[in-house]
Structure formats: C-alpha cells, structure tokens
C-alpha cells in the first residue's frame, strides 16, 4: 500500500510541475509570436503607403425606396367574447 501511495503522490507532483512550467513556456511562445505578427504588420504598412482618395466628379446617390404597403392584410376582425 505504501508503494501505491508514493506513486500517486509523485504523479500528482509531476503533473503540477508540468502544468506550471508548460503554462509558462506556452505563454512566452504566444507572446513572442504575437510580437512578431505585430512587427510584421507594421513593416507591411510602412512598405506600402495608402493611395490618396481621388474625387472623380459628381456622384449622385439615390436611396432605395421600399414600396408602401396598401393597407393592412391581417385578416378578418373577430369580436372578443369573455368566457365565464
């Protein structure tokens, strides 16, 4: 019984250590990859400047109008009668 208890305790301690060290490693890897992506995006923005907007003249924009409804078509009116 003592051997089984030692194996369980050692497994729990190893699992705890692996999760703490693994979390630290993954956090740093993601942080480095994130910084690399931001740096790459900034370099691309510097390399290709935006073109200025050119006004090509008068543009006429008309809003789309929806057809008006021709009255209500909800059905026939039924008088309400209270049931006691």
- 10-19: average pLDDT: 94
Q: Is residue 27 situated within a structural domain?
A: yes
Q: Is residue 83 situated within a structural domain?
A: no
Q: Is residue 39 situated within a structural domain?
A: yes
Q: Is residue 10 situated within a structural domain?
A: no
Q: Indicate whether this model's pTM tops 0.85.
A: no
- Render pLDDT for 29-77 as a digit per residue (tens, 0 to 9): 888 777 777 788 888 877 776 666 666 677 777 888 877 666 666 777 7
Q: Is residue 60 situated within a structural domain?
A: no
What is the pLDDT, as a whole number, of residue 52?
Answer: 64
Q: Which residue has the tokens 């026939």?
A: 76
Q: Is residue 32 situated within a structural domain?
A: yes
Quick one: tokens of 11?
Answer: 């497994």
Q: Is residue 43 situated within a structural domain?
A: yes
Q: Is residue 54 situated within a structural domain?
A: no
What is the total count of domains within the chain? 1
DSSP symbol at 52: P
Q: Give the 3-state secondary structure percentages of the chain, helix then strand then coil, rounded to 5.
A: 55, 0, 45
Q: Which residue range(s) make up the domain with 35?
A: 18-47
């Amino acid at each position: 019984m003592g051997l089984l208890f030692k194996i369980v305790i050692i497994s729990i301690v190893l699992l705890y250590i692996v999760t703490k060290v693994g979390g630290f490693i993954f956090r740093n890897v993601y942080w480095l990859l994130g910084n690399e992506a931001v740096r790459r995006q900034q370099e691309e923005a510097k390399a290709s400047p935006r073109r200025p907007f050119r006004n090509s003249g008068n543009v006429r924009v008309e809003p789309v109008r929806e057809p008006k409804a021709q009255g209500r078509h909800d059905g026939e009116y039924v008088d309400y009668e209270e049931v006691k």
